[in-house]
C-alpha cells in the first residue's frame, strides 16, 4: 500500500511549542493538598515521573495516576521519561499505602499504572492485583482503571489481574506497527493487540482501552490502520494525544497536529465503532478518565 507521510509541520524554533500547546503554571490549594497526600503515600505517580503537561489541571481536581512497583523500569521506550534502571525490591506494604491515598483523596476513579517488571517471575501481576483488591475494600465506590505493562501477553498473568476485577483494563498501543520497534523496542505491536483481545475474550463486560501518541512520524493511513486493529481487538475506549519530547535524549517530535486534526481523528474513530474516543493535543491515557468512564457507563445503562 502506498503511504502518504504527511509533510512535517516545521517544529517551532528551539524548544518553543505551538500556541495551542501552552498551559498555565499549576497553582491552588487543592493541588497542594493532592501533592501532600501523594507524597505521604510514598507511591510514585506517572504524572510526575512522565512530566505530564496536565499535572496542574488533574491534581487541582484531585486526579492523579499512581505508578506502582517502583519508579525504575526494566524497559527503555524512546518516548517515555520514566527512568530505566535496576528496579528496587517490591514493597509489600505498597497496596495498603496506595489504598489509603485513594481513600484520603476521596477518588471516584483511580488509574493505576506500573513500570514494566520483566525481572519478576510474575512480572508484578500479583502485586498489581493486590492493589486492586485493597482499593475495592477501602473505597468500594471508586472505579478502578489499570494500565499495566504487557506481561508478555502471558495468559496466566493476564488472568491474575483481570480476575481482581478492575472496571477498565487499559493497555496502550502508543504508535503504529512500523514505528513500534523504533519507539518501544522491547514491546511488540502484535503482542499489545493480543493482550487487549485476551482481556476482552476473558471478560467481555470489562471495558478495554488503549492510547496512541501522534507526531512521531506516522502517516494518516498508518494511524487509520492502527485504530482499526485496536477496534478489531475489541477495544472500547480510545485516546489519542500529541507526543511531546521529554528531553533531547528522546525521540524527536516530527509533527505538531493542530486541534482540528484531532477532531478529524476522533470522528474517524467513532465511525469505526469505539464506544468512547478522546482525541486532542493534551489527551493522555489517563486524562479525564473518570468522565470518560462515567459517560460510557451511562451509555451502557441507557
Ligand atoms: S493526564 Fe494522567 S498522567 Fe497526566 S497529570 Fe493527568 S492523571 Fe497524571
Of the candidates 2, 8, 3, 1, the residue with the CA atom closest to the CA atom of residue 217: 8
Distance between CA atoms of 295 and 301, rounded to whole angstroms? Answer: 10
* pLDDT at residue number 52: 86
**pTM exceeds 0.75, yes or no:** yes
Pocket of ligand 1 from Cβ distances under 6 Å: 46-47, 52, 54-55, 58, 63-65, 284, 286-287
Work out which ligand 1 atom sits closest to the CA atom of 46.
3
110, 131 contact by CB (below 8 A):
no
* pLDDT single digits (tens) 27-38: 688 999 999 999
110 C-alpha to ligand 1 centroid (Å): 11
45 C-alpha to ligand 1 centroid (Å): 9
Please state, in angstroms and as integers, the Cα–Cα distance from residue 241 to each residue in 21, 79, 117, 146, 178, following that order: 11, 13, 26, 19, 18
Specify the residue with its C-alpha closest to ligand 1, atom 2.
Answer: 286
Question: Beta strand 72-73 with 83-84: parallel, antiparallel or unpaired?
Answer: parallel
Range of weakest confidence among 1-10, 53-62, 192-201, 260-269: 1-10
* pLDDT single digits (tens) 70-107: 989 999 999 988 889 999 999 999 999 999 999 999 99
* Owner of C-alpha cell 496512541: 212
Mean pLDDT of 34-57: 90
More confident residue, 215 or 4: 215
* Overall fold of domain 29-301: TIM Barrel (3.20.20)
67 C-alpha to ligand 1 centroid (Å): 11
Distance between CA atoms of 168 and 132, rounded to whole angstroms? Answer: 11
Residue 25 pLDDT greater than 90, yes or no: no
Work out which ligand 1 atom sits closest to the CA atom of 287.
1
* pLDDT at residue number 163: 98
Sorted by where each begins, the domain ranges of the chain are: 29-301
184 C-alpha to ligand 1 centroid (Å): 20
Amino acid at each position: 500500500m502506498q503511504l502518504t507521510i504527511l509533510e512535517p509541520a516545521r517544529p517551532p524554533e528551539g524548544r518553543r511549542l505551538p500556541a495551542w500547546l501552552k498551559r498555565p503554571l499549576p497553582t491552588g490549594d487543592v493541588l497542594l493538598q493532592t501533592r501532600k497526600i501523594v507524597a505521604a503515600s510514598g507511591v510514585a505517580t506517572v504524572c510526575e515521573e512522565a512530566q505530564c503537561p496536565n499535572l496542574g489541571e488533574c491534581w487541582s481536581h484531585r486526579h492523579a495516576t499512581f505508578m506502582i512497583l517502583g519508579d525504575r523500569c526494566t524497559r527503555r521506550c524512546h518516548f517515555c521519561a520514566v527512568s530505566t534502571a535496576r528496579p528496587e525490591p517490591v514493597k509489600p506494604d505498597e497496596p495498603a499505602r496506595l489504598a489509603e491515598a485513594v481513600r484520603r483523596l476521596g477518588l471516584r476513579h483511580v488509574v493505576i499504572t506500573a513500570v514494566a517488571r520483566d525481572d519478576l517471575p510474575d512480572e508484578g501481576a500479583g502485586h498489581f492485583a493486590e492493589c486492586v483488591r485493597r482499593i475495592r475494600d477501602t473505597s468500594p465506590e471508586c472505579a478502578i482503571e489499570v494500565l499495566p505493562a504487557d506481561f508478555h501477553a502471558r495468559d496466566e498473568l493476564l488472568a491474575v489481574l483481570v480476575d481482581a476485577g478492575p472496571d477498565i483494563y487499559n493497555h496502550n498501543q502508543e504508535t503504529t506497527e512500523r514505528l513500534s520497534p523504533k519507539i518501544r523496542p522491547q514491546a511488540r505491536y502484535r503482542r499489545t493487540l493480543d493482550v487487549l483481545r485476551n482481556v476482552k475474550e476473558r471478560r467481555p463486560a470489562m471495558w478495554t482501552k488503549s492510547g496512541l501518541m501522534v507526531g512521531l512520524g506516522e502517516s494518516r493511513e498508518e494511524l487509520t490502520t492502527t485504530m482499526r486493529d485496536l477496534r478489531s481487538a475489541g477495544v472500547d475506549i480510545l485516546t489519542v494525544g500529541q507526543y511531546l519530547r521529554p528531553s533531547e535524549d528522546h525521540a524527536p517530535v516530527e509533527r505538531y497536529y493542530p486541534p482540528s486534526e484531532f477532531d478529524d481523528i476522533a470522528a474517524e474513530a467513532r465511525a469505526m465503532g469505539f464506544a468512547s474516543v478522546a482525541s486532542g493535543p493534551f489527551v493522555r491515557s489517563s486524562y479525564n478518565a473518570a468522565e470518560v468512564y462515567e459517560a460510557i457507563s451511562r451509555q451502557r445503562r441507557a
